[in-house]
Amino acid sequence: MQQQAEPKEPFTIPGWIIAPYKYTVGPVASKFFTELRDNKRILGIRCPECNRVLVPPRSTCSRCFSQLEEWVEVDTKGTLLTYTIVHYPLPIHPAEPPFAYGIVQLDGADTGLTHLIGEVDGQDLKIGMRVQAVFKEERQGNILDIKYFRPVRGKYEQDRR
């Protein structure tokens, strides 16, 4: 008869493993990111049942589960629905604190896009303010091809509020 080994404390060695990988975003996100990179266009996708335009686009409607295939260009301007200001640094942050994230409902879209808000002090941010996308000069085909959204300034945009 074999004797069972006594349970022991786990032996751990701290360290790092570097594992190169590729992530495929799929056909819907690929088209979305390609348009951002190549044409500075923001695309949404319209639901045939709900008639909602979803940005960022996805292949299935989250409300009615319809398959989505009708691409629509939306404006690069929109309305700030909500925001938060980040005051602490983390290695994964795309900017140095303090900076703001907001949810922007682009004109022509029915959903919000989470992104950085720039060219504005935190105390000047207002829910409902008009913002517009600022694109990077050198784009790579990801969401950060939109550098940030900045406030729209000017009489015409103020009158639209």
pLDDT tens-digit readout, 13-39 = 788 888 887 878 899 999 999 999 999
Would you say 46 and 77 are in contact if contact means Cβ atoms under 8 Å apart? no
Q: What pLDDT, on a 0 to 100 scale, did the predictor assign at position 155? A: 54
| pLDDT tens for each residue of 92-144 | 899 999 999 999 999 999 999 999 999 999 899 999 999 999 999 999 999 99
Q: Is 141 left (phi over 0), alpha (psi -120 to 50) or beta?
A: left
The whole model's pTM is what?
Answer: 0.81
Q: What is the C-alpha separation between 5 and 153, in angstroms, rounded? A: 73
Task: Identify the bridge partners of residue 146 per DSSP, sorted by sequence position.
Answer: 135
The topology under which CATH files domain 26-160 is: OB fold (Dihydrolipoamide Acetyltransferase, E2P) (2.40.50)
Give, rounded to a whole angstrom, the gap between the first and last alpha carbons of the chain. 83
| Two structure tokens written together for 34 | 């390609």
Q: What pLDDT, on a 0 to 100 scale, did the predictor assign at position 111? A: 97
Q: What pLDDT, on a 0 to 100 scale, did the predictor assign at position 161? A: 44
